[in-house]
Amino acid sequence: MQKRRFVPAYVPLLTSGALARRAEEAYRHLERCHLCPRYCRVNRRETIEGAVCRTGERAVVASYGAHHGEEDPLRGRNGSGTIFFSSCNLRCVYCQNWDISQRTAGCEVEPKKIADMMLALQDQGCHNINVVSPSHVVAQIVAAVHDAALRGLRLPLVYNTGGYDSPEALALLDGIVDVYMPDMKYGDSAFARQYSKVRDYVGVNQAAVREMHRQVGDLVQDKDGIAQRGLLVRHLVLPGGIAGTDRVLDFLATRISRNTYLNLMDQYRPCYRADDYPGLDRSITAIEYRAALETAAHLGLKRLDGRIGRSLTWT
């Protein structure tokens, strides 16, 4: 039997002409921007004044390259083809990449340049195109995918987000994204307001994850374990139960799928401004992380990333 060749989700849209129309529609959204749930309503094609993301018509790319530190189904042997966008629609006081997320570090680029990056990563043998912190640059990404697909891009597209995504943006991405990889940072919006400076994170995040799962389903991997399509969720365990891990995992198990691929992360360390916030000024303990693992097991969430627990010294 002949092996069935993988076809990215965006290829049928390219063939029908719908991908070009989707890119045009996405740019219209920039004119009174509601591409993230902050709903700034700024005309980002003309100004960045009033835009929380501090990004205008052109995206700002901090770096790109093959990344070997991502989840097992993404990195494989050749790495995940990451493109890091500067700025973020969250303001996490403990962000480990604060120099990128809280500053506009990097170069403004047109979609054609982003497409060039995508094709270069494909030529390097990367397993996917992994757009990092993409929520505020959805229009630019869709336009870049269209350009790159016309020139032969055929890798899965991974949408690697902080999980604060609007339904308008996700509607634009339906049929374009192959793998959604959202954070689920909190189980309580009060903590999200305090530590990430954003309102109603939990409601927005849960609605986004439900829509992502509706679009792509549970994670599907090829015979080598490489992700082709589906949902992959990240949850960073924070000290003192701040992340609301029990609530997050219960939502995944009861409202999404017990077959959800989950990276239950243990690597929290105080970064950026975390020392100014009591409770966030220490690392998590092995006991706290073990409790998270036990909760996942109790809820039937068994599809955990292979690097689980490697950052802690177990006693």
The residue ranges of every structural domain in the chain are 10-28+58-298
Q: Which residue has the higher pLDDT, 312 or 240?
A: 240
User: What are the backbone angles phi and psi of residue 262, rounded to the nearest 5°?
Assistant: -125, 130
pLDDT digits (tens, 9 = 90+) for 257-266: 999 999 999 9
Rounded to whole angstroms, the Cα distance separating 312 from 274 reads 20
108 beta partners:
60
Rounded to whole angstroms, the Cα distance separating 95 from 269 reads 10
Q: Dihedral (C-alpha) 186, 189, 191, 194: value to the nearest 10 degrees?
A: 130
| CATH code reported for the domain at 10-28+58-298 | 3.20.20.70
Indicate the SS3 state at residue 193.
Answer: helix
Supply the pLDDT for residue 58: 96
CA 253 to chain CA centroid, nearest Å:
20
How do beta strands 59-67 and 261-265 pair?
unpaired
Mean of the per-residue pLDDT values for the chain?
94
Rounded to whole angstroms, the Cα distance separating 6 from 10 reads 12
pTM, to two decimals: 0.95
User: Any idea how long the chain is?
Assistant: 315
Rounded to whole angstroms, the Cα distance separating 97 from 292 reads 24
67 beta partners:
80
Supply the pLDDT for residue 262: 98
